[in-house]
C-alpha cells in the first residue's frame, strides 16, 4: 500500500496546480511529472521534502540505472530515465524559493538530477520504429469482414487512418460535425478534438487509395442515414454493453465519444492480428503515409502541403521524425554517382 506524507502531498498539489495553470501543461504531462516525483519520494522513504539532501539524488540516480519497467520487466530506457530526472529537477528548482523549503534547498541543487553526457546522447538517439507497408495495410483492410456494424466501424477506422493520418487521441474525440464528405476534409477543431498541442488542423483526404475514401464515406452515410446520428454524435462510437438473455452482450453503438484512445489502438492491433500480420499502433500509419507522400509529392511546395495536412507546422518535423534514413540508405544516396 502506498505511503502518504500529507505535507508532501500539499506541496505537490501546489506544484501540479502551477504546472497546469502557469506552465499550461496538459493533464498527461502533469500526470507524468506526478509519477516521476512520486518515484523520487518513494526512494527517500516518503520523508518530507524539507529533508532534501544531495546524497538522496545521487542514490536515486543509481537506483534508476538498475530499475526495471513494471510493464516489460526490462531495464528502464535512457529516455525514460532522462524524463524522470528532468521532472524532478524542475520540481526541486520550483521548491527552492518556497517558504519552509528555501532555507534547505538551493536552485543549484536541482542540477544534481542531470543525466551524464553519455546517457543524454543515448536518450536523444532517434530509433526507427516499425510501420506497416502500403501492401500490409491494404491486405489487412481487405481481410476485415463487414457483417456487423462493429466490424464496419473498425474497417472504416483503418480507412480513416489511411486518408488522414490523424492521431488516435484526436480520432477518439471526433464527432460527425468535424467531417465534410462533400469536400473531403476533416476539421480537427482543437476546442473539441484532442489534437496534439491543442492545434487546430484542417486535413483533406489523402488520395492514397480510392477504396479507403469510399469505405469511410459509406460509414459516415451509414451513421447519418441508418443510425440517424447527428452532428454531435461520435464518428467512431464506443460499444454499448448491456444484458441480453441474462448475459452481458454488445448491444450496439453509443452516442458518446471515447474518454481515451485505448479502444482505437486495440481495434487496430486486432485487425493486424486477425490478418496474420505483425501488429502496429495507429501512430505507425503516419510513417506509412509519409513514406507514400515522399513519392506522391515530390516538389517542396507539395510536400509542405502534405506536412501541413497531417498537422505539422514545419516540414522539418515531418522529415526528421517520420523519414529516418538508415546508414545503408545514407551510403547508397551519398555515394551514388
pLDDT tens figures, 284-300: 999 999 999 999 998 99
Reported for 24-31, long-range contacts at CB under 8 A and 24+ positions apart, including other chains, are: 26/198
- Evaluate whether 46 touches 5 at the Cβ level (below 8 Å): yes
Mean pLDDT of 50-54: 95
The least confident of 32-46, 59-73, 196-210 is 59-73
**Given this model, what pLDDT does residue 109 score?**
94
- Integer Cα distance of 13 and 23 in angstroms: 14
> Is 130 exposed, middle or buried (CB count within 10 Å of its CB: 0-12, 13-18, 19+)?
exposed
- Integer Cα distance of 80 and 34 in angstroms: 14
Residues contacting residue 270 through CB under 8 Å, at least 6 positions apart = 154
Cβ count near 245 (within 10 Å): 5
Per-residue pLDDT reduced to its tens digit, 105-134: 999 999 999 988 887 776 666 566 789 999
**Given this model, what pLDDT does residue 81 score?**
93
**Given this model, what pLDDT does residue 326 score?**
62
**Given this model, what pLDDT does residue 4 score?**
86
- Evaluate whether 280 touches 141 at the Cβ level (below 8 Å): no
Mean pLDDT of 164-187: 96
CA-wise closest residue to 227 among 311, 323, 156, 327: 156
Sheet containing 201-204: which strands, arranged edge to edge? 179-180, 185-188, 201-204
**Given this model, what pLDDT does residue 252 score?**
75
Vertex 149: Cα angle to 232 and 165 (nearest 5): 60
Residues contacting residue 260 through CB under 8 Å, at least 6 positions apart = 169, 172
3-state SS class at 308:
helix
**Given this model, what pLDDT does residue 318 score?**
84
**Given this model, what pLDDT does residue 328 score?**
62
C-alpha cell at 209: 487509395
- Band (pLDDT 50/70/90 cuts) for residue 324 is low
CA-wise closest residue to 252 among 266, 270, 233, 274: 233
- Band (pLDDT 50/70/90 cuts) for residue 241 is confident
**Given this model, what pLDDT does residue 156 score?**
97
Residues contacting residue 249 through CB under 8 Å, at least 6 positions apart = 241, 242, 243
Mean pLDDT of 181-205: 94
Residues contacting residue 24 through CB under 8 Å, at least 6 positions apart = none
Q: Per-residue pLDDT for 248 more than 90?
A: no
**Given this model, what pLDDT does residue 120 score?**
77
Q: Per-residue pLDDT for 209 more than 90?
A: yes
**Given this model, what pLDDT does residue 320 score?**
74
Mean pLDDT of 12-23: 95
- Evaluate whether 304 touches 290 at the Cβ level (below 8 Å): no
Cβ count near 323 (within 10 Å): 12
Per-residue pLDDT reduced to its tens digit, 68-107: 888 788 888 888 999 999 999 999 999 999 999 999 999 9
Amino acid at each position: 500500500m502506498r505511503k502518504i506524507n500529507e505535507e508532501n502531498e500539499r506541496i505537490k498539489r501546489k506544484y501540479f496546480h502551477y504546472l497546469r495553470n502557469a506552465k499550461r501543461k496538459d493533464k498527461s504531462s502533469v500526470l507524468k511529472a506526478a509519477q516521476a516525483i512520486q518515484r523520487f519520494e518513494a526512494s527517500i522513504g516518503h520523508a518530507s521534502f524539507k529533508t532534501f539532501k544531495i546524497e538522496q539524488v545521487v542514490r536515486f540516480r543509481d537506483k534508476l540505472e538498475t530499475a526495471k519497467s513494471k510493464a516489460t520487466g526490462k531495464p528502464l530506457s535512457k529516455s525514460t530515465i532522462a524524463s524522470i530526472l528532468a521532472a524532478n529537477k524542475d520540481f526541486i528548482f520550483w521548491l527552492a524559493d518556497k517558504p519552509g523549503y528555501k532555507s534547505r534547498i538551493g536552485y543549484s541543487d536541482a542540477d544534481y538530477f542531470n543525466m551524464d553526457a553519455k546517457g543524454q546522447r543515448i536518450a536523444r538517439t532517434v530509433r526507427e520504429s516499425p510501420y506497416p507497408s502500403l501492401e500490409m495495410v491494404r491486405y489487412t483492410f481487405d481481410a476485415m469482414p463487414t457483417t456487423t456494424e462493429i466490424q464496419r466501424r473498425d474497417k472504416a477506422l483503418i480507412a480513416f487512418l489511411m486518408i488522414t493520418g490523424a492521431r488516435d487521441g484526436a480520432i477518439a474525440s471526433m464527432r460527425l460535425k468535424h467531417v465534410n464528405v462533400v469536400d473531403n476534409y476533416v476539421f480537427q477543431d482543437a476546442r473539441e478534438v484532442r489534437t496534439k498541442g491543442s492545434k487546430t488542423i484542417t486535413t483533406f483526404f489523402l488520395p492514397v487509395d480510392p477504396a479507403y475514401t469510399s469505405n469511410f464515406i459509406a460509414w459516415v452515410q451509414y451513421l447519418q442515414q441508418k443510425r440517424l446520428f447527428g452532428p454531435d454524435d461520435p464518428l467512431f462510437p464506443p460499444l454499448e454493453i448491456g444484458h441480453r438473455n441474462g448475459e452481458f452482450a454488445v448491444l450496439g453503438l453509443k452516442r458518446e465519444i471515447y474518454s481515451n484512445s485505448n479502444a482505437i489502438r486495440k481495434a487496430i492491433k486486432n485487425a493486424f492480428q486477425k490478418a496474420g500480420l505483425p501488429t502496429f499502433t495507429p501512430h505507425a500509419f503516419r510513417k506509412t503515409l509519409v513514406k507514400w507522400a515522399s513519392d506522391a509529392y515530390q516538389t517542396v511546395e507539395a510536400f509542405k502541403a502534405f506536412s501541413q495536412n497531417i498537422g505539422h507546422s514545419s516540414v522539418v518535423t515531418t522529415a526528421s521524425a517520420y523519414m529516418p534514413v538508415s546508414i545503408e540508405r545514407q551510403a547508397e544516396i551519398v555515394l551514388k554517382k
